[in-house]
Structure 1
């Protein structure tokens, strides 16, 4: 699936999150499955608490917080969002 920079990302309301041991752990209440996020993924998940965001918004957030080239940030976020979508954690 190709994700555009204007695509809106929103969290699934049936997912709860907690920080455990330096990572964010997501629990899909419907499926009963867990999913772990590193610091960058956790920052993205936290940003989505305030409501839907575009991919471009999420890239800007990560670029302002973490030191990495823009193309790497965009590629990594697209991969994360695709994975989260595949697991029903975001829409």
Structure 2
């Protein structure tokens, strides 16, 4: 998925093996596998929380636009870029094995 386009119906979930903590309203994370640290920020942290259970990109955008003052098009651009980064770092997984909970 790292080099592919992310579609609205793609489903993602957190990859296991990361330590996450809140620091001054922002989420920071360390990958157990790589030892890398990440500052997800406040909105990135919210996306991370939402991805605790499998969620489609479309649902992520709908949730974020209802919680923050952002239009859907801008939100989609930011969410897709963020998910691409998380995917590149193997912090999230997607694909056929990931199903949205009903």
Which TM class, normalised by the smaller chain length?
over 0.9
**1:5 partnered with 2:11:** no
Moved over 6 A (4+): none
Of stretches 68-77 and 21-30 in structure 1, the one that deviates more from structure 2 is: 21-30
Quick check: 1:84 aligned with 2:89? no
Q: Matched residues in 2 for 1:42 and 1:66: separation?
A: 13
Query: How many residues align structurally?
Result: 90
2:17 aligned with 1:14:
yes
Unaligned 5+ segments in structure 1 are: none
* Structure with more of its chain in helix, by fraction: 1
Compute the RMSD of aligned alpha carbons.
0.9
When normalised by structure 1's length, the TM-score is 0.94
TM (normalized to structure 2)?
0.84
Unaligned runs of 5+ in 2: 94-102
